[in-house]
Structure formats: C-alpha cells, structure tokens
Structure 1
C-alpha cells in the first residue's frame, strides 16, 4: 500500500520574490557633474509614490551629504513613520542611509522600485539638460602664429558654467572662429550626449557674423572663406546633423556676459601659449574666470 505523499510546494524563483517585494527604493547617482537622487515607494509591482531631484556635485558636500539629505527628506514625505523597509542596490548608498538612521534592508531592492528610480534619474537628467546656450570666441595674434579659442556652456537651471579653451597654430580669424564653435560643440557633447541627438535645444552665439552666415546659409563670395574654413563648416554640420541647434550672432565686447567670458578665455589661451606658461596656471585662472561668471549670472 503506497504511503501518502505531502502536497507539492511550488518554489518561487528569485526573480518572483524580488518582483513581489515592497518598500522604499533609494537611488543616488552621479551623472555629468550632478548628483541625482530618486526615491520610489512600491507595493509589489505598483509604484504608489515617487520623488526625485538633483544637486550640482560641487555643491553636494562631503560624501554627497546634501543629496542624501534631500533623498531622506523625500523618503519621510512618502512614509512619515519610517515603518517600511528601505532598499538600495548600491552598497555605499546603503551604508550612508544606515548612518542616517534608516532601516535599510540589504536584500535586493523591489524590481518595480529599481525600474522607477532609474527611470526618474534618466528623466531628471534630460530635464536638467534640456536647454543649452554656448558662447564662443577666437583670438589671433599679429606677432605669433598662435590662435586662441574660448567657449562657455550654460545649461541654466542653476548649474555652474562649463568653460574651455585651446590654442592652435595657424589659421585666419574666420577659420579660428569656426574652429572655436566646433570645439565648443564637442565639449557640449562630452558634457551631455543629448546635445547632439535632439534632446537638448542648443543656441550657439558668436560675435563673428561671417562664421554665423556660413553656418546658416552656406559659403558665399562675400565671406572670403578658405578651403580650411569650408572644411570647418562641413565638420560642424556633420556634428549637428540631427541636433536641435541654431547659430546666433551677438555683438562683441558688448553686454553679452557669456560672450565676454569666451573672449577672455580665447585671449588667455593665445597669450599663455605665446608665453609658454604651465597648463596648471592656465586652468587655475580659468577656474577664477568661471567662478566670477557664475557670481555675475547669479546676481
């Protein structure tokens, strides 16, 4: 006579367990000079609360303390009594949250929470970098072959300015102005890839009318361009082929703050190269110029 067997018990997979897990998922991540954070409250596969934000990495404080403080504030808004478990997929973040007195569960976070926080971070990043103003300038000396190029990137929304400069030997002033535009666009792409795929609305400001006309309308006899100038135009057009970008002429040495900064950087690039000054000294002075620019914009 056969013995009765116990009923079969279905064993849940790890994926099913994670999918049914509930609680608060916290994600704090550095991206493109920012520290972004997101907090999601989930019950199994349903998101019932979501908060997100960002802070400039330079302003986030030691160990991104201010960013974590904002995330904890959002967490308390979602669950005032802190009665639900808190999850983080990143060990260092879990340690920081423990230090702040939160009941961190070291299990893998709820699947819905992971998806929601990663999506919130991506959307915040796109929103922060939705608009960009670029100012460029060039400086050509009369006694040496060096041409200086300067550019300033302003993404707005309280972000600090991003600046760059470079000295190159040879080239007319028109070629140098076009090269400065190309270098600035490459720097913008490195800051945020969405600059070149249409996710960001870009305005490039130059005080060289011929350069702006060539980029808007194409070459014409009145611009007196060389083969090198036309090559720069083609390289720029290839770079911005699918970008949302417009080229704008601004009056030089007037009241356009970004143009004034770009001019100072271009002159500095040329003069420092002519004088053979160390790169560390140059970048130290660039930091000072950018800091003053940030203060002027905030005023």
Structure 2
C-alpha cells in the first residue's frame, strides 16, 4: 500500500522574493551637476519612511563622500536603532556603503524600495528646477563682423549659476539680442528637460526693449526688424510653445546682477573670437566670471 506523500511546499519565484523583501533601500545618482540621494524603509509592499537630499558635485568631495555620508545618516535615522538590511539600487555603491559600516545586503533590493527611491529623486529634481531666471545680452564689434552672445541661468535654491556664451558672424544688434535669447533657452533645456515643457516657471530678462516687446507682442514689427530677426522670433516661439515663460526688459548696465554677468560674457565671447583665442580658454574664463558668485552661494 503506497504511503501518502506530504503536500508539496510552494517555493517563491525570484520576482515574488524581491517583492516580499524588506529593509532600507539606498539610491545615489548624479544628475545635472548634482549628486542626489534617497533612502526608503519598506516592509514587503509597505513604505515606512523616505528621506532624500542633494549636493552639488563640486561640494560632494572626492568620490561623492559628503553625499554618501548624508545618505548613511538618513539610513540610521530611518532604522531607528534596528539592524535591518541595507540594499543599494546601484551596484557600484555597495562597497562605499559597506565602508561606512552599514549592514549591506548584496541581494537585489526590494522592488518597492527601488520604485520609491527613484520617485523621490525625480521629485527632488523637479522641485529644484521648478523656477528659472535667465539673463541674456549681445555685443557687436565695430571693426569685425563678430557678434558675441552671453547668458546666465539661475535656478535659485542655492544651485550654482550656469553661464554660457557664443560668438557668431554677422547680424544686427537686434538679431543678436534675439539670438542670445534663443541660445539661452536651448542651454536651459539641456540643463533640465522640464524647463520648456511647462514644469518650470521661466523668466527671461533682456536689456533690449525692442526684442522683449517683439516676443510679448506678436503684432509689433519695428522698422529695424529683418527677415533674420523674424526667423529668430519664430524659433523662440517654437522652443517655448509649451513653456511657462515670461519675457521682460531690464535696464542694462545697472544693478541687475545677472544682466551684468551676461553682458560680460557677451563681450568676452566676441573679443576672444576677434583675438582668435582657443575655445577652452574662453570657457575657462567664462566659468571664472560666475565662480565668485557661486562660491558665495555655497558658503
């Protein structure tokens, strides 16, 4: 007579095991010149707590040491004296976390922990880049055909200013002022994709009243407007079709700090092109123009 067999025990699939996994999940990534981190404490599908933060790459120190220290502190706060396993979303971060004395589990992190930390980083990034002030300017020489363009991006919240400059041959001062605005908007989009899709409130300041009025009043066609000027207007409108953007005039060479910086960058780009200086030297000096202001923000 055959013996009855015991009921078979159902083993969990790998996906189910990950879904039921619990502990503290850490994500540390580089985005847009920043080091962002997030820590989530989860129990199976439940989220028990989340922390996130950021630091500039320049301030993070060698191997992002300060960012790792902040994330480790968040782990300790969320663990509240417990000895829960710590998981890293990024494989290369595991050794660093182990070096900080954390009980790192080398298994794949809890599924809900991955989702929550990635969402926290994305939300932190959106919050940091939700407002932008842009200042632009142009410089025309009298002896050469070069026109210099300069711009400064200021996202506020202690983020470093982002300078930009470019020299282009030919064009009137009005065309050049409009081109500077277009170049700045393109640079802003490269800095953060949400700038021109409505997620960011953008203010563009120009010390050229005619350029500002042309962008705010589609029916305004000044006498000095050329086909090239109108083409620049169309290109700017295409760039900002879905953006939350406001164009404003500011008095040039006055007390508007960003306009003063943009003016210096525009003049620098033209003069360096006229002097045939190498591009890397121009970029180095452009960075030095705003370095002092950025150091003040970081202090």
Checking the alignment, whether the CA contact within 8 Å between 1:148 and 1:168 is kept in structure 2 is: yes
Aligned to 2:188: 188
Q: Secondary structure at the match of 1:176?
A: helix
> What's the RMSD between the two structures over aligned residues?
1.3
Question: 1: CA distance between counterparts of 2:276 and 2:219?
Answer: 36
Counterpart mapping for 1:117-156 below 5 A: 117-156=117-156
Is 1:50 paired with 2:50?
A: yes
Instruction: Give the direction of change, closer, same or farther, for the CA distance of 1:221–1:235 in structure 2 (3 Å limit).
Output: closer
TM-score by length of 1: 0.97
Question: 2: CA distance between counterparts of 1:118 and 1:127?
Answer: 14
Provide, for residues 206-251 of structure 1, a one-character-per-residue CA deviation record: whole Å limited to 9, x for no partner: 0000000010002534352000000000000000000010001100
TM-score by length of 2: 0.97
Aligned to 2:271: 271
Instruction: Give the direction of change, closer, same or farther, for the CA distance of 1:4–1:157 in structure 2 (3 Å limit).
Output: same
Instruction: Give the direction of change, closer, same or farther, for the CA distance of 1:82–1:67 in structure 2 (3 Å limit).
Output: farther
Counterpart mapping for 1:47-126 below 5 A: 47-126=47-126
Provide, for residues 266-289 of structure 1, a one-character-per-residue CA deviation record: whole Å limited to 9, x for no partner: 000000000101112211211210
Q: Secondary structure at the match of 2:65?
A: helix
Checking the alignment, whether the CA contact within 8 Å between 1:18 and 1:111 is kept in structure 2 is: yes
Aligned to 2:16: 16
Q: Secondary structure at the match of 2:116?
A: helix
Unaligned runs of 5+ residues in structure 1 are none
Aligned to 2:284: 284
Aligned to 2:245: 245
Aligned to 1:158: 158
Structure 1 stretches of 4+ moved >3 Å: 295-299
Q: Secondary structure at the match of 1:184?
A: helix
Checking the alignment, whether the CA contact within 8 Å between 1:261 and 1:293 is kept in structure 2 is: no
Q: Secondary structure at the match of 1:104?
A: coil
Checking the alignment, whether the CA contact within 8 Å between 2:160 and 2:297 is kept in structure 1 is: no
Unaligned runs of 5+ residues in structure 2 are none
Checking the alignment, whether the CA contact within 8 Å between 2:158 and 2:297 is kept in structure 1 is: no
Displacement, 1:298? 7.0
Displacement, 1:89? 2.3
Q: Secondary structure at the match of 1:228?
A: helix
Aligned to 2:236: 236
Question: 1: CA distance between counterparts of 2:298 and 2:64?
Answer: 23
Instruction: Give the direction of change, closer, same or farther, for the CA distance of 1:5–1:131 in structure 2 (3 Å limit).
Output: same
Question: 2: CA distance between counterparts of 1:296 and 1:78?
Answer: 33
